[in-house]
A and B are shown apart, each in its own frame.
Chain A
Amino acid sequence: MYTQWLRQAGIIWTGILWSFLSYGQSAPVGSLPMQYVGSFAGEAGVPRLSSSFSYQNHNNFNGRQDVYESYLSYDQFIPAIRSGIGITTGVGNNLNAVGYNNQWTPIYFNKSNLYYISGVLAPKFSIQGKYTISPSIDYSYQGNSALSGYYSRQCRVGMLFNTKKYYIGYSVYLLNNYAFKDTNNINTKVRGSERGHLQLGYTFQPSSESKFSCTPQMAILVYENYYDQVVRVGIPALMLNFRYSHLLMGINNRGWHFGWQTDKVRAMASASFGNEKFFGNLSFRYLIKNQQGNKSTPFY
């Protein structure tokens, strides 16, 4: 009965993921823990180091050049303040549309370099040792080395509820501004379209000792459309992961993925191919678990 249910869930998720594959623009869910909801800072209970490297080759489609993004994040739980803290840094390229066709489709792009930094504070509250509720606040700054006067500032508050098997997190943007100099060299501020993120995940595992598990995760973006000013919902990231022992395999918004995961280390590679583009992502995560860390988090 359980296996049949798993199979059905897998088929449904695979169908959904295939329909969204071509829209993948971000790292797979979980490769950067604080990407969508900052409350994941310190969620592991021990120091955690995560990195993600993404590469896109558009095969010069509509003048698009190849770009990369590289991120590194670190977070840990501090028992003294009962909170998790985290920091994320990143560098990469950005394509700015500078020319459009008659249907307002961008056909000319300028490639520029971006840098990104963010910090998170996330207090933790446990309910009877079974659940964790974690509010959070984070602030991020993004600059562009090629565009003078360009920057982006974002401030979010979030909430995460999780057990060992599932989580649900939500974040809302309190501040989401882009500033740049327009064609007349006048400083201009524009409000970003993002309004919030909802992130969900659940792991199906017959028992805690089972070698096999199936873990679907997804992030939902709530945004305001520029043209019609209507709030809409998009799915920036999805992942369906199957694990047998330490071997990972599945599908995500970056394509197919495979990897190796233990309770300390996860290394994962994702890729998708098409006529007009190639997306690839490498992610790595390491949990710094020592004897002291295990004592402070005996749930392990």
Chain B
Amino acid sequence: MNVSENGAEENNDLLIFEYLEGDLSADKALAFERQLASDPALQMKLEQWKGTVVTQDFYDTQHLEEKLLQYTGEVGKRINSIVIGVMLSFLCSLLPLSLEKGKSMPIQPIRLPSPIIAGSLKESVVETNKRALLAKAFSPIVLPAKTTQELITPVRQSRKMTELELLQPRQLVLPVISSMGTPNELEVKMKVVTIQKPLAKRMITRKQAWKTKRMKEKARQQREADQFLKGHVPYVVPLNTTNF
């Protein structure tokens, strides 16, 4: 690789860097994109540069995934226990019936109230009392009215969910199950918890860091030169007064 190729490569690097930083003017950015469309090598280089871009505010995805997996596991365990509990209770509810069947007890026919015979007032009063007792004993169970949706929806899906708050960067949603009850009463609240874990640092080699630093320095110098060309700078480049 000769000197001119080196220079061209450095210019491309600088151009890509400024493009990614958003420092290019609209005209330059357009020209760069045109060049990019026709140059596969440049596209590859741009992808490489994109891989080296490190931004400070990013989601800690690894930690988030771990937390979400943990959450799924916990809820899964809870749901499993709930299902098992429901099944057991269902089986238990079937148990007395089977015992009664085992005893082969004869089913007592329900005595229907006999018609009131005129002239037998005393007997009719007794019969009336019997009818009242029977009516009370066999009165239908009054259940709360259910909507069609509730009737259609399976029990386990009828949780009440609170609305999610707007997520901020580096915040994670963790579930908090308020109480253990029947599936109908199960209410899962979502709570926003801020993670205190420090930002994960991207692993880059020393050479990459040096190259990035060098490119940033060049970009800074170029910005200064652009400022000069725009007429924002007077006619002197001072020595670095922190060193001289």
Interface residues, chain A, CB within 8 Å of chain B?
30, 42-46, 77, 79, 82, 84, 124-126, 128-132, 134, 162-165, 167, 201, 203, 205-208, 213, 215, 217, 241, 243, 261-264, 287, 296-300
Contacts and interface: CB of A to CB of B under 8 A. Distances in A.
Interface string B224-244: 111111001111111111111
Interface in B200-233: 213, 216-217, 220-221, 224-229, 232-233
Contact of A44 (B213, B226, B227, B239): B239
B217 A84 contact: no
Contacts of B227: 129, 298
Given A132-B235, A132-B238, A162-B239, 12 more contacts: A42-B236, A45-B236, A45-B238, A84-B236, A124-B236, A126-B234, A129-B224, A129-B229, A164-B239, A203-B244, A207-B217, A296-B234
A207 B239 contact: no
Nearest to A296: B234
Contacts of A261: 242
A129 B233 contact: yes
Contact of B241 (A79, A134, A263): A263
Contacts of B213: 206-207
Contacts of A215: 243-244
18 contacts: A42-B236, A43-B236, A43-B238, A43-B239, A46-B238, A124-B235, A126-B234, A126-B235, A126-B237, A132-B236, A134-B236, A163-B237, A207-B216, A207-B217, A243-B243, A263-B241, A263-B242, A297-B234
A74 B204 CA distance: 48
Give me the 5 closest cross-chain CB pairs, A-B, nearest first: A129-B228, A203-B243, A129-B225, A132-B237, A45-B238
A164 B238 contact: yes
Q: Mostly helix, strand, loop or mixed at chain B's interface?
A: loop
A206 B211 CA distance: 12
Nearest to A126: B235
Interface in B63-97: none
Contacts of B240: 164-165, 203, 205, 208
A21 B210 CA distance: 37
Interface string B122-145: 000000000000000000000000
Nearest to A160: B239
Nearest to B217: A207
B243 A213 contact: yes
A4 to B, nearest CB: 14
A215 B216 CA distance: 22
A262 B242 contact: yes
B238 A44 contact: yes
B28 to A, nearest CB: 17
A91 to B, nearest CB: 26
A213 B242 CA distance: 9
Contact of B238 (A128, A205, A241, A299): A299
B104 to A, nearest CB: 94
Contacts of B224: 129-130, 299
B233 A128 contact: no
Nearest to B226: A129
B235 A131 contact: no
A300 B227 CA distance: 12
Contact of B221 (A82, A130, A300): A130
B234 A79 contact: yes
A250 to B, nearest CB: 12
Contacts of A164: 237-240
Interface centre among B220, B221, B232, B236, by most chain A C-beta atoms within 10 angstroms, is B236
Contacts of B238: 43-46, 132, 164, 297, 299-300
Given A208-B220, A299-B224, A125 B235 contact: yes
Nearest to A162: B239
B244 to A, nearest CB: 6
Contacts of A264: 241
A159 B217 CA distance: 28
A129 B228 CA distance: 5
Nearest to B228: A129
Nearest to A164: B240
Contacts of A126: 228, 233-237
A166 to B, nearest CB: 8
A158 B97 CA distance: 116
Contact of B237 (A130, A201, A241): A130
Contact of B244 (A30, A42, A82): A30
A167 B239 contact: yes
A132 to B, nearest CB: 4
